Structure 1
Amino acid sequence: MSLKKKTPEGFGESTILRIGIFALYAIKQLHEIGFVHRDVKPGNMMNGANGRDRRIIFLIDYGMVRNFVVRDGNHIAMRKPRKNVLLRGTLRYCSLSVHKRLEQGRVDDLWAMIYMLGELYVGLPWNRLTVEKEIVKLKESETDENVFRVGP
C-alpha cells in the first residue's frame, strides 16, 4: 500500500524521519547506478508487506526513470543536458527547475523527496492547486519556514 493511501491524515515526526531516511537511501541507490527517478512522491513509496519489510520503505514505479550517465567502454561521462525538455513528474512535488523545463538531475529527485515529506507531515500550501502557474507562483514566493511550518 502506498504511503499516501496508508495514512491520509498524516504521520508523526519520528515516522516522517524514518520515511525520509529510507526514501533518501532508495533514491541514493538509484542515483549510484546512474539513474534519476523523476517522479518521487508518496504514491511511489511503499512499505513492505511482511515481517521486517513492513518497516522498510521501497521506491517503486520506474516508468519515468532516465539515465544521467553515458558509458562508452571504460569511459563514463555525464549526459549532456537537452535543449528541449518536457515536464516529467508530478506538479505538486517537482522542483522549480523542472517547472522551468530544465533537464532533471539528482537534485530534482531530492527536492521532490523534501516536498513529499513536507506533505506527509504538515501538508503543502499548494496541495489543492492544479494549475501549474499557480503552483509555481507559490513555490517561488513561500519561504521554507512557511512551507514546512513545524517540520523536523
Structure 2
Amino acid sequence: MIVKMPGQCVFLVSMRTLSPTGNVETWLALAVGLGLVNALSPLHDKGFIHRYVTPWNFMVPMPFSMDNIVKRMVIMDLSLATRWSPEMAYDAAVRFAGTVKYSSERALNRRTVGPADDFISVIFIVAELISGKLPWRAVSKIDKCAAMREKFTETDEFRRLPREIRKLYGKLCDSSPSDKPERVHEAFESALDRRTGSSLWSLSAMPAWLEMPGE
C-alpha cells in the first residue's frame, strides 16, 4: 500500500513498494541513507535520540528527487525520542524501546543507546533497500534478533553495502552510547560520489518507477 499524505509527501517505505524488484539501486539507497542522517543529526544536536528509525517514520516530499530525498526528509514519529547527553551514565540495563527489525544489537540487548544506534538503524534501512530484505526479516523474537545482529557482517546483505558504509558500521558498533559519531555524513557522501559523481543531483537520474500514480 502506498500512503500519500496531505502536502504531497509519501512514507519512505513506499519506495520499496513502488520498485518492481523490491529493491533499489545502490546509489539511491545511499541517497536515502544520507537523507535520514540529515534528518536525524539536528535532533542529536539538540540533545535527543530517536530510537524508532524505520521507513514508516520518515516521509519524502513529492516529487521524488535527489534534493527532496537528501535534504528534505521529514521525521513523522518522535514518540520514542528521549534526551541524550555525553555526560549521562550508560551502564544500566533498560527496557527495550524501538522496532525489532531495525534496532541495533545494543538496543535489542536492552542496553542504553545513543546517536550511533540511530545511525545503525539507518544502515539497516539502506541494506534492506539494496538487497530487498534483511537477514532477520522473518524473526520476531528480540533475543534471537540480537544474536543474528552479531553475524550481520557475515551476510550477503552486509557485503552488498559499499565499503564506506561497512567501515562506518564497524565504527558505530564499537562506539559508546555517550559518543556523538563523527564523519557519518562524509561516509555516505563519499560512497555516493564514488558511484555517481555530480550527475547524482540531476532530477533525470530518478528511476522511472519512482513516478507516483496520478503524477
Distance 1:113 1:39 in 2: 10
Write 1 or 2 for the structure with the bigger share of strand. Answer: 1
Counterpart of 1:2?
11
> Which residue of 37, 43, 58 maps to 2:74?
58
TM-score (structure 1 length as normaliser): 0.83
SS of the residue 1:143 aligns to = helix
Map 1:87-98 → 2, pairs under 5 A: 87-98=96-107
SS of the residue 2:51 aligns to = coil
- Whether the 8 Å CA contact 1:22–1:58 is kept in 2: the answer is no
Letter in 2 for 1:97: R
How many residues in Structure 1 have an aligned counterpart in Structure 2? 145
Runs of 4+ in 1 over 3 A off after TM superposition: 49-56
| Residue 140 of structure 2 corresponds to residue 130 of structure 1 | yes
- Whether the 8 Å CA contact 1:124–1:148 is kept in 2: the answer is no
> Which residue of 28, 33, 36 maps to 2:41?
28
Structure 1's 106 and 12: CA in aligned 2 closer, same or farther, altered over 3 A?
A: same
How far is the alpha carbon of 1:97 from its aligned partner?
A: 0.9
In structure 1, the gaps of 5 or more residues are 70-76
How far is the alpha carbon of 1:131 from its aligned partner?
A: 1.6
Distance 2:101 2:64 in 1: 33
How far is the alpha carbon of 1:120 from its aligned partner?
A: 1.6
In structure 2, the gaps of 5 or more residues are 1-9, 163-215
How far is the alpha carbon of 1:4 from its aligned partner?
A: 1.4
How far is the alpha carbon of 1:2 from its aligned partner?
A: 1.3
| Residue 53 of structure 2 corresponds to residue 37 of structure 1 | no
SS of the residue 2:53 aligns to = coil
Distance 1:24 1:12 in 2: 19
Aligned alpha-carbon RMSD (Å): 2.2
How far is the alpha carbon of 1:6 from its aligned partner?
A: 3.4
Identity among equivalent pairs (%): 25
Write 1 or 2 for the structure with the bigger share of helix. Answer: 2
Counterpart of 2:173?
none
> Which residue of 97, 103, 107 maps to 2:112?
103
Distance 2:83 2:91 in 1: 13
TM-score (structure 2 length as normaliser): 0.60
SS of the residue 2:74 aligns to = strand
- Whether the 8 Å CA contact 2:108–2:145 is kept in 1: the answer is no
Q: Identify the range of structure 1 (38-47 vs 54-63) with the bigger mean alpha-carbon deviation.
A: 54-63
How far is the alpha carbon of 1:95 from its aligned partner?
A: 0.9
> Which residue of 153, 156, 162 maps to 1:146?
156
